[in-house]
Structure 1
Amino acid sequence: MPLAVEQILRVIASALVGAAIGYEREIKNKPAGFFTFTLVCMGSCLIAILQENIFRDLGGDPGRIIAQVVSGIGFLGAGTILHNRGNVVGISTAAMLWLAAGLGLLIGSGGENNYIIAFATVVIILPITMITRRLSAHFTKARKIQRFRLVFEDSFEKELFDTLASLGVTIKKYFLLNKYFHDDIHMKELIIYFSIGKNITLDDILSKISDIDYIHEIEKV
């Protein structure tokens, strides 16, 4: 097989691997989704191919450019990590980006064994993420932690958390699903995990805060 054709097949394989991981992130509304993971995996593959071509034609250290990918992907991963009110989210997405880059480099380096290892890794990691999510949901239910989805005006975030605290809501953690502008208003969408006291129900809390002007959507999830 001509080298150029084989290298094109590597890029296609890396796109499939990145898309598989990205799809799982996309359906979970993570900061980096289908398109991002596909690009990361393909980009890493292309850099590995570039390094191979340079080494074949000019010689030199075959791992120098690849090493920069391993370092540089950290900056992209850092962009998916958010820290707010003591909560840190996005670490798993950052780790998956790092994994996608590694898989792209593996495929881009060529070799039948590398293809097998890359696709086997995807087959292993995707079920693990689903099992982990189900276990997390099980333990959350066992601890009687409830959750709801909120869409509210970002400028009122402090007032929102103060209001929830005044109603006896103890927030355990929360995840940012989306940030966007609506009618020139900066909106934020969160999933909030919380526990409540014995003398109040989730329906009571929802009824009390559903009429607040800066809360646009609220639902149990």
Structure 2
Amino acid sequence: MKFLTSIQELISYSDLARLLIAFVLALPVGWEREKETRSIGMRTFPLVSLASCGYMLIGQSIVGDDPEALAKILYGLMTGIGFIGGGAVLKENGSVHGTATAASIWNTGAIGAAVAFQRYEIAIALAIVNFGALRIVPTLKKKIIPLDKAKN
């Protein structure tokens, strides 16, 4: 019996480690949004990643390795996160704002899910690309768009 208890404790620590990893991987995205004075930032993005990881870990413990059941859980999770992201999109005076924030919310959900499935390479790639898209692409955009407008 003691052997089974130690295995369960090891699994618990593994789950806690995954939850922590999911939280930490989303912090740079949250920091970037916070730095840009967006309404969603350092708390929201890591919590979305953490919750996504948690839901998938709970799902795995309930349905085991059933790919169809896990896909349904993942589908529901990503749909729900899409609704959260939708709340970040604002349309006013013919322009739309918040799409990068909404996409980043969705992406941090995917980071959490990837960590839950121990696909750390995917989670890390998503985190790096998301952070890069928020930090580097706007600078490139400022350099490229004025050139295009000058041609017209």
Bin the TM-score by the shorter chain. Answer: 0.7 to 0.9
Structure 1 unmatched ranges of 5 or more: 145-221
Specify the alignment match of 1:119 in structure 2.
124
What is the aligned residue count? 141
- Which of 130, 135, 144 matches 1:130? 135
Give the aligned CA root-mean-square deviation in angstroms.
Answer: 2.5
Q: Distance in 2 between matches of 1:5 and 1:35?
A: 23
Give the structure with the larger strand fraction. Answer: 1
Where does 1:31-110 land on structure 2 (aligned, <5 Å)? 31-56=39-64, 61-110=69-118
Is the 2:104–2:130 Cα contact (8 Å) retained in structure 1?
no
SS state at 1:19 partner: helix
Specify the alignment match of 2:3 in structure 1.
none
Specify the alignment match of 1:30 in structure 2.
38
CA 1:4–1:62 in structure 2 vs 1: closer, same or farther (change >3 Å)? same
SS state at 2:91 partner: strand
Question: Which deviates more from structure 2 when the two are superposed, residues 27-36 or residues 97-106?
Answer: 27-36
Where does 1:137-148 land on structure 2 (aligned, <5 Å)? 137-139=142-144
Q: Distance in 1 between matches of 2:145 and 2:93?
A: 20
Percent identity between the two aligned chains: 26
Is the 2:27–2:46 Cα contact (8 Å) retained in structure 1?
yes
Structure 2 unmatched ranges of 5 or more: 1-6
Specify the alignment match of 2:22 in structure 1.
14
CA deviations 1:92-125 (Å, max 9, x no partner) are 1101111110111111123xxx112211332233
- Structure whose alpha-carbon radius of gyration is higher: 1
What TM-score results when the alignment is normalised by the length of structure 2? 0.82
Structure 1 position 131, deviation (Å): 2.0
Of structures 1 and 2, the one with the larger relative CO (CA 8 A, separation 6+) is 2
Question: Which deviates more from structure 2 when the two are superposed, residues 27-36 or residues 127-136?
Answer: 127-136
What TM-score results when the alignment is normalised by the length of structure 1? 0.58
Give the structure with the larger helix fraction. Answer: 2
